[in-house]
């Protein structure tokens, strides 16, 4: 995440040669995808235990549910 933030700051400076900007963009895209995959994997592992009757049953985590 820190590397991705650094890339964004560099690209926002508008002082990069086109070739370097393209390299950073490509690297940023790869890092963003890696972060997305990690987050997706973590979300699939998160479960909330909910008591239903006398059973404890796993239920998928839904952040939009309060």
pLDDT score, position 45:
72
User: CA nearest 29: which of 52, 48, 11, 45?
Assistant: 11
11 and 28 Cβ atoms separated by less than 8 Å? yes
Q: How much is the pTM?
A: 0.60
Please list, in sequence order, all residues whose beta carbon lies within 8 angstroms of the beta carbon of residue 55, skipping any fewer than 6 positions away.
none
Beta bridge partners of 50: 57
**Which structural domain, as residue segments, surrounds residue 19?**
2-60
Is there a domain that residue 17 lies in? yes
Q: β-pairing, 55-60 with 47-52? A: antiparallel
pLDDT score, position 37:
93
> Can you give the pLDDT of all 66 residues of the chain as single tens digits?
899 999 999 999 888 999 999 999 999 999 999 999 998 888 777 655 445 556 666 666 676 665
pLDDT score, position 26:
96
Is there a domain that residue 65 lies in? no
Q: What domain count does the chain have?
A: 1
């Amino acid at each position: 995440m820190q590397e991705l933030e650094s890339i964004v700051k560099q690209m926002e400076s508008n002082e990069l040669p086109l070739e370097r900007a393209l390299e950073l963009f490509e690297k940023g895209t790869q890092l963003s995808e890696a972060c997305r995959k990690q987050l997706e994997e973590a979300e699939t592992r998160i479960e909330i235990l909910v008591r239903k009757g006398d059973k404890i049953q796993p239920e998928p985590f839904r952040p939009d549910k309060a």
